[in-house]
Copies of this chain bind each other. A is one copy, B any other.
Amino acid sequence: MTEPLDLDAVYSFAVQLGKDAGSMLLNAAQARYGSSGYHYSIEQKTSEVDIVTQTDQDVEAFIKHQIAMEFPSHRFIGEETYSRGTSRAYLIDHEPTWVIDPLDGTVNYTHLFPIFCVSVAFCFNGKPTIGVIYAPLLHQLLSVCHGRGAWLNENTRLLLANNPAPPPLPADAPKDCIFSCEWGEDRSDQPDSNLHCKIASFVNMAAETSGREGKGGMVHGIRSLGSAAMDLAYCAMGAFDLWWEGGCWEWDVAARICLLQEAGGLVTTANPPNDPSIAPIEDAKLGSRLYLAIRPAGDTVTETERQQQERVVRQVWGRVQQLDYARPGA
């Protein structure tokens, strides 16, 4: 028999867990600031674009232990553990499941670039229900529980369409938008590689509106932080207008999708359908590895938040190419 779920208790526990894990990251980082110099050390994984530190493993072990002590019946999926396994199966079902990235933005962390965080998500009935993201060097703690709002540092409510209204999305979007994206690890120089599909998409988004045979998007700016997860977090906060990415795993996005949706944002698939202008816009499937997120937006006289977001989704779909991020071995 399953015990009843006390969501408030789970939420409080998750927030404290995020704070404690973030402090571990910060302490380990500060231990590398010597008294006489600012430097860093790195250890290379087999992949050329993937670095792991002992801290990753230590923080995941800590989080796993804390959850096992408090909620012994809950499942646990952690980035470090999962990545070392061979299966790439999608493991989130209706059971209470914790989805953890102990250190998101590992390369940034090893270089003492502040864009890194710990990410704690709690899924229930297959949906991300609670999320905690703590970026200790940025002094930013994001927390969300479905139905209870999305919060910065526990005291500032994130963008919601009417409370108060965040800015509407630009009328000629993607023009005037801040576009967030990453180059990723696939660097194949073949014509249909993810690298080339991404580049062609980025250039469409960036070029003057009269360029690229009508596909020029003239976005206001392009940001690449080296952490798709932090890109999505800043989209939820409204710092970026839209984020388009393939290849993310559950622990990269679960907490942030909960955050974005609770604040009023929209997240759907990165890959454009055959007819971008009329295809239905469905919520992204967790586990799909393909995401397009649009920030929350205030209603206007002529368009609701959702109408603005759908307009921007279609404009982006019309400019981006299909990415190939099937789940290997799943």
Pick the interface stretch among A3-11, A94-102, A150-158, A304-312.
Answer: A150-158
When distances are taken between beta carbons in the complex, the residues of chain B under 8 Å from A175 are 48
- Beta-carbon contact of B226 and A207 below 8 Å: no
Pick the interface stretch among A69-77, A160-168, A243-251, A285-293.
Answer: A160-168
The yes or no answer to A62 lying at the interface (CB within 8 A) is no
Copies in the complex: 2
When distances are taken between beta carbons in the complex, the residues of chain B under 8 Å from A36 are 157, 163-164
Interface hits, A120-162 → B, CB 8 Å: 137-140, 152, 156-160
The yes or no answer to A85 lying at the interface (CB within 8 A) is no
The distance from the CB of A5 to the nearest CB of chain B, in whole angstroms, is: 29
> Contact check: which of B138, B139, B140, B206 meets A195 at CB < 8 Å?
B206
Interface residues, chain A, with chain B CB atoms under 8 Å away: 33-34, 36-42, 44, 48-49, 107-108, 111-114, 137-140, 152, 156-160, 163-167, 175-176, 178, 183, 187-189, 195, 199, 202-203, 206-208, 210-212, 216, 218, 220-226, 234, 237-240
Other than A38-B152, A114-B138, give 9 A-B pairs with Cβ distance below 8 A.
A36-B164, A37-B157, A37-B164, A107-B221, A183-B221, A189-B208, A199-B199, A223-B224, A223-B225
